[in-house]
Amino acid sequence: MFEPRIEQHFIDSADLKYQAAQVLSKPISAAVQAVLECVTNGGKVLACGNGGSAAYAQHFAAEFVGRFERERPELGAIALTADSAILTAIANDYDYSLVFSKQVRALGQAGDVLLAISSSGNSANVLAAIEAAHERDMIVVGLTGKGGGKMNAVLRETDVHVCVPHERTARIQEVHLLALHCICDAVDHQLLGEQDNKP
């Protein structure tokens, strides 16, 4: 009964990924370069987002601190979405729009990278985190869709913008996950070299 609808989701997702491959390969490659420079110089990646993007921030941090597909030394990454005490304290005592920016100011250092994930590009707390990252001389890697939203206005030329060319949140998020996996794979490839049967 639901099979045709389910199959259409697979087709739509595959079509977008195929169409976006050339458009996004350059900014994702630039994101890899920024992250590589950060971690090889002893820096860390701070990752943030809301909802599904919060889960992706944690997913990315887990793959950096633990591993992606191969064993390697641990890489520094912190998901700013994971500490419920910090999140609720800042939201309660200040404002929810500050839950990430205050953490960036506390933890971020020059040379670190902020991974800022927002499907719309309009999340106020993510935008505030970007401004805080700039204050700390951090590079920002922004993952958005829907044209990039307000993030277009706050990203600098030295930052990286991976903007999925689509309007539907589910499709954007699916490509965001693929982009994060591409970053992890390329970092591992650069640090560890070639591996049999891998791209």
Numbered residues of the known binding site: 50-52, 59, 63, 92-93, 123, 173, 181
By the 10 Å C-beta count (0-12 exposed, 13-18 middle, 19+ buried), 144 is classed as buried
* Calpha distance 47→78 (Å, rounded): 6
Among residues 122, 123, 125, the alpha carbon closest in space to that of 149 is found at 122
Tell me the binding residues for substrate. Answer: 50-52, 63, 92-93, 123, 173
Report the C-alpha gap between 6 and 182 in whole angstroms: 26
DSSP, collapsed to helix, strand or coil, labels residue 46 as: strand
Q: Give binding residues for Zn(2+) as ranges.
A: 59, 63, 173, 181
